[in-house]
Amino acid sequence: MAIQTPESSNASKLDNTASSATFNKPNSTYNHSSQNTLIARLAKRSIFRNTRRTLLTVLLISCSLAAILFTDAFVRGMVETMVKISTQTFLGEGQIHRFGFREANDIDLYIEDTTALYQQLNATKAIQAFAPRVLTGAMTSSSENVASAIVYGVDAAKEAKVSKLKLAVTQGDYLSGIDGEIIIGEQLADLLEISLGDRVVITVSEANGGVLSQALFRVSGLFSFNERSMDIGMAFINLSQGQQLLNITGVHEVALRLQHLQQAADNTLPFWQTLNNDHIETLSWQELVPQLSSMLAMTKYSTLIVSIIMYVLVCLGLINTMFMSIFERQTEFGILLAIGTRSKQLFYQIMLEGFFIGLLSVTVGLLMAFVLCYWGSIVGIDYSELEMSGLTLNEPIYLILDASSFAIMGIATLVVTLIASVYPAFHAARLQPSFAMRKTL
Amino acid sequence: MLKFILSVLFSLVVYLPSYSCFADDDSATLLKKMDELFRSKSSIAMMKMQIITPNWQRTLAMKSWTIGMDDTFIRVLSPRKDRGVATLKKDKEMWNFFPKINKVIKVPPSMMMGSWMGSDFTNDDLVREVSLVEEYQVSKSIEGENYRLTLVPKKETVTVWGKIEFIVNQKTLLPLEQSYYNEKGAKVRTMVFSNIRDFSGKKMPAVMTMMPLNKKGHKTVIEYVEAEFDIDLGDNVFTLRNLQTRF
Amino acid sequence: MLIIKLAFRNILRNRRRSLLTLLSMGGGFFLLCLTLSMSEGSYSNIINIFTQDHTGHVQIHKENYLERPSLYKTINHADEIITQLEQQTLVLGVAPRIYSPSLAYGKNKTFPAQVVGIDPEREAKTTRLENKVNEGLYLTRSRHKAGYFPAMIGFSLAKNLQLSVGDELVLISQGIDGSIANDIFNVVAIVGDASSYERMNVYISLTAIREFLSMASDTRKVHELALILSNQNQAREFAATTQSALKNESLSVDPWQVVESSFYKSMQADKKGSYVSMGIIIFIVSIGVLNTILMGTMERTREFGVLKAIGTRPLAVFTLIMLESFVLAIISCLLGLVLSLPVCFWLAGVGLSMPEPIDMGGITFDTMLGEVSWFVVLLPSIVVISSTLIVSFIPAIRAAKISPLKALQAV
């Protein structure tokens, strides 16, 4: 133990004699670094003196850290699942329309030059698949009843790569490009009192003129998206027939599936620019359904609050621990101070103790978190009893590991530990030796 | 629907004398001749339409002008609230006029399949050019005193019906009943013809009662008060302007 | 009795230890309470804002109206029902409505529009329709000077028909007697925006719609009664009691959870997600309690050794320790309560303003509110007390069984 008297000029000599074995410093220098290292060793030793307590503290901090990281990964996974459900059910991660179409769904405003557009889309790497559609309000009639619905003309093969229409077919078959095929929602079929194979007449008014046009279809399949508005208000026919019915050569909408979901938010990608001009507009899902991104923003916000609360808890627990350890060693500190240890050094020692505990906890915590989250990302958490608008969550929520979260949370925890150590260290440094040495049972 | 009935009746009446020479004619030819004769004629008629539903009942008095199957003009004369409401159908397009608000409105698809003036007939019934012989396969059988004409839609025919049947009296060659069936063979609606009267020298049923069988308590009864045929109607009848003319 | 005295004395004897324990557990309580309050509060807030938009907390219809709406499915003596409902203290507002799907006509194009007949004063007390008027003035019951009834139209409908305040609106529908309802209305206001619920609606007074649909001024028939209660969480119960009170009618009384079931489902999903976070916080609070109590009891091993040496029964030692922990838990709950209640009330009243207001379906949320309820207070208490007891169990048993010699030799 290095002993220092404040005004001693023999400091270096004493220093040397006491620790010559471990240090090789010139006698004349008032050696800070050796003192610091000794204090460090002291700090380390004190921590492990009461292993039980240290362990408990480390447990507290590392568990909290792991818990926060787990929640973070969970929320990220949940957000992505929610977004995927919304966009992959039918909406698409982005949509292209003729400028002005979206305001009133005016069937006259269709994208005319589809060949050039498709070429452009095929050439864009970020776009994994696209599905062209025509859509119009229409009357559907059966022998029993009449109902209004939105009729979509889709390209069966392309549509299956972008939306979940094919998977939503519950009875009969999906579209296969043959004229006369129509798949309708289960609730619409109920309303019209028809089932597979029955006749359905679709009446629309043609584009550019409004002349009425009708065609006969036979119910080839029924679908259910588990969402009332879709199951009672939609019907799907083949794209070519839809175009014939409306007497147009283009399409109203092209739904996009990107390579990665995140690209929808990234508007630095070149294709957003090239696909937005005077004629057509391309919007990401965030712009198409702003309500969804609002809900997600709120989720992120509440996660932030939860994290802050957790850190405060950790802080409290840590302060508690530090104080306990200080009070236990009060006698010891008293002696230390009595024989001349500088307050500053005591302060520093306690801070170091806190730092080491923090370091240890963060390491353990990050490891625990990594294991948990990794397991979670492979196995996922099953939420299947839950139903959200759209399809039931039939996929488990996979946790998403994020390196930056790990780094930030880890460092934050360390910082919090240090902050928590300040007051106890300060308190210890200001102890009066005589008071401290009083032993209590 | 209205128009079709008129045409069928009219053509049957005209064809009556010649029919007696062809007692065993093919049913398709019969139907075809009905269609053909139907197309070249015109008519002016006064009629009453009584609509009965479980929630309300109304009786409308109307005057109608028709040329062939393409053009129809109907104007409502009573009740007072609806007096002046008019419908014009030219080719495949249809317009309504509402005197109260003084507007002519083109009928969009959403109103097309809706009922015409609340009756059991749809706007669509009025609009569609029903050429039965072109759109349906017909066969005939004898049932007691009547013929039963069975019409099955051809493959390309755009219709919700699986089958239409006529019961026609052999002697008068006037229909007694027309029934619409869905593809499962269930009768969905029936039209009953009665009260055979003389209209400008032609005999035809004056009353047609339409009953949807899937909706309880609904019935529409059309009664012809007067009818004239093959009159020159002039060019001004089937115009949008005529919808708004004072009468 | 002695044990209780001893327990209290022990607690008071070692002030700083007790204080630290209290602080830690009380702090945990405080934070758990706050989190719960914020979480419950924001859900309640969202639900309130959503239901006050146009749905209301409870709705009454002719049974089956919601699944297959029809002009003829009316509530036949609505005026009596309204009077009865308005007398109840729970009910803050009742809004009667008549619906008629119609065609709105403008500039050679027809657009489908939902025409809603409302009682303007009652509607303003029940929903936020009046606040959504962007241009023009809210509906009144009078006729316009030119003899036309006033109408408020939705934003998108106004845009599609290119109408603004002061223009004429033509509506066509089918009357209740089968006639074609057609009339001209005077646009007095435009409501909502491009994404709000009413964007394709037309609002006219009940008198106006009755005349439009030839309903012959029958003031007793409406399609829907929407009610606002003093608190949305009473909706289910209220709906059930009202339903049984109306037992000889074929009416259906539904709480908002049924009327807006997809909204409810997504709220539930979100809530379930937050249960995970809640569970984690509870976990951390428990660990904090564990930490504190464990250290506290283990520190006093010598003390217990002395107790046993002078002849205290093991059971007594056990009970003593459990009692001390229990008392500490109770006090810390009280402490936490004292600290957290004012904050919760403040949160419920004023709330935290969000940095960016969130828009959901045309409705803006800009504050996160807290909530004060039994749940918010009870759950943290249960967590703190039960984790204290669980955690004290093992050290208490160890202390009870320890041999005095070993205990006195321990550090």
Question: B183 vs A211: CB contact, 8 Å cut-off?
Answer: no
User: C177: nearest CA in chain B?
Assistant: B56
Q: Lowest-pLDDT range, A49-63, B130-144, C29-43, C278-292?
A: C278-292
pLDDT at position C159, please?
A: 85
Give A284's strand partners.
A94
Q: What is the pLDDT of residue A384?
A: 52
> What is the overall mean pLDDT for chain C?
82
* Share above pLDDT 90 across residues of chain A, in percent, rounded to a whole number: 11
- pLDDT score of C362 more than 60: no
A:C CB pairs within 8 Å: 137
Question: Torsions phi, psi of A234, nearest 5?
Answer: -130, 150
Are the Cβ atoms of C291 and A103 closer than 8 angstroms? Answer: no
Which of A205-209, B68-72, C98-102, C344-348 is modeled with the greatest confidence? C98-102
Question: Residue A75: its chain C contacts at CB < 8 A?
Answer: 273, 277
Among candidates A143, A200, A211 on the partner chain, residue whose Cβ is nearest the Cβ of B92: A211
Q: Does C410 touch chain A (CB under 8 A)?
A: no
Per-residue confidence (pLDDT) for residue B112, from 0 to 100: 64
CA distance A250 to A236: 17
What ranges in C51-91 are assigned the alpha helix state H? 78-87
Look at B87 and A47; give whichever has higher pLDDT: B87
- Is pLDDT of B13 > 60? no
Q: Please, which residues have CB within 8 angstroms of residue A414's CB and are 6 or more apart in sequence?
A: A355, A358, A359, A362
User: What are φ and ψ of residue B183, in 5° steps?
Assistant: -70, -20
CB A303 within 8 A of CB A72: yes
Residue B21: the pLDDT is 29
Q: What is the pLDDT of residue A189?
A: 92
Residues of C with a Cβ under 8 Å from any B Cβ are 72, 103, 105, 108, 110, 112, 170, 172, 174, 176-180, 182-184, 214
Distance of CA A340 to the CA centre of its chain: 54
DSSP state, residue C143: P
CA distance B22 to chain C (A): 46
The predicted pLDDT at position A8 comes to 42
- Which residue did the predictor score with more confidence, B44 or A78? B44
Residues paired with residue B27 on neighbouring β-strands, in sequence order: none
The 10s digit of each residue's pLDDT in A19-42 is 444 444 444 445 567 777 888 888
Model confidence at C190, pLDDT cuts 50, 70, 90, reads very high
Q: What is the pLDDT of residue A439?
A: 59
Which pLDDT score is estimated for C98? 92
B240 inside 8 A of chain C by CB:
no
Q: How many CB atoms lie within 10 A of CB B185?
A: 8
Pick from A139, A140, A141, A211 the residue to mutate for testing the B interface (most B CBs within 10 Å).
A139
Question: Under DSSP, is residue C370 helix (H, G, I), strand (E, B) or coil?
Answer: coil
Give the closest-approach CA distance of C22 to chain A in angstroms. Answer: 10
With 0-12 CB in 10 A as exposed, 13-18 as middle and 19+ as buried, what is C241? middle
Q: Distance from C325 to chain A by nearest Cα, in Å? A: 17
CB contacts < 8 A, B to C, total 51
Say whether the ipTM exceeds 0.85.
Answer: no
Q: Contact at 8 Å (CB) between C95 and C277?
A: no
CB contact under 8 A, C176 and B108: no
Residue C153: its pLDDT value, please? 92
- Which pLDDT score is estimated for A188? 92
Whole-number pLDDT of residue B30: 62
In this prediction, residue A396 carries a pLDDT of 67
Q: Is A314 on the interface with C (CB under 8 A)?
A: yes
| Contact between B159 and A199 using a beta-carbon 8 Å cutoff | yes
Using an 8 Å Cβ cutoff, are C103 and C113 in contact?
yes
What are the tens digits of pLDDT across the range A74-87?
777 777 777 777 78
Q: How confident is the model at residue B116 (pLDDT cuts 50, 70, 90)?
A: confident
**Residue C321 confidence (pLDDT) above 90:** no
**Contacts C172 to B, Cβ<8 Å:** 98, 105
| B117 neighbourhood in chain C, CB within 8 Å | 178-180
Name which residue leads in pLDDT, B191 or C372.
B191
Question: What is the mean pLDDT of the segment spanning C270-280?
Answer: 72
Q: Which of B74, B76, B87, B111 to mutate to test the interface with C (most CBs of C within 10 A)?
A: B111
H-helix or E-strand containing C103? Answer: strand C91-106
Over residues C364-385, the pLDDT tens digits come to 666 666 667 777 788 888 888 8
Give mean pLDDT, residues B31-58.
Answer: 72
CB contact under 8 A, C302 and A228: no
Chain A positions touching B112 (Cβ under 8 A) are: 139, 203, 212
pLDDT at position A236, please? 94
Residue C234 to residue C238: CA distance in whole angstroms = 6
pLDDT (tens digit, 0 to 9) for every residue of chain A, 441 residues total?
A: 344 444 444 444 444 444 444 444 444 445 567 777 888 888 888 778 777 778 877 887 888 888 888 877 877 777 777 777 778 888 888 888 888 888 777 888 888 888 888 888 888 888 888 999 999 888 888 888 888 889 999 999 999 888 888 888 999 999 988 888 999 999 999 988 898 989 999 988 888 876 778 899 999 999 988 777 788 889 999 999 999 999 899 899 999 888 877 777 776 777 777 777 778 888 888 887 776 777 677 667 767 777 777 777 777 777 777 777 777 777 778 888 888 888 888 888 888 888 888 888 899 988 988 888 888 877 776 655 455 444 454 566 777 777 887 888 888 888 888 888 888 788 788 878 877 776 554
**Predicted confidence band of residue C144 (pLDDT cuts 50, 70, 90):** low
Helix (H) or strand (E) holding A152: strand A146-154
The per-residue pLDDT for B127 is 59
Distance of residue C102 Cα from the nearest chain B Cα, in angstroms: 10
User: Which range among A240-254, B98-112, B207-221, C150-164 shows the weakest confidence by mean pLDDT?
Assistant: B98-112
User: pLDDT tens digit string along C86-124?
Assistant: 888 888 989 999 999 888 887 667 788 889 999 999 998
Nearest CA in chain C to B114: C174
Contact with chain A for residue C393, Cβ under 8 A: no
Structure confidence at residue C360 as a pLDDT band (50, 70, 90): low
DSSP per residue, chain B = -HHHHHHHHHHHHHHHHHHTT-TT--HHHHHHHHHHHHHT-EEEEEEEEEEE-SS-EEEEEEEEEEETTTEEEEEEEESGGGTT-EEEEETTEEEEEETTTTEEEEPPHHHHTSBGGGSSSBHHHHHS---HHHHEEEEEEEETTEEEEEEEE-TT---S-SEEEEEEETTT--EEEEEEE-TTS-EEEEEEEEEEEEETTEEEEEEEEEEESSSTT-EEEEEEEEEEES----SSTTSHHHHH---
Contacts C110 to B, Cβ<8 Å: 105-106, 108, 110-111
Q: Which of A306, A309, A387 sits opposite C265 (nearest CB)?
A: A387
Q: How confident is the model at residue B59 (pLDDT cuts 50, 70, 90)?
A: very high
**pLDDT at residue B26, as a whole number:** 64
C2-24: average pLDDT: 79
Burial degree of B242 (CB within 10 A; 0-12, 13-18, 19+): middle
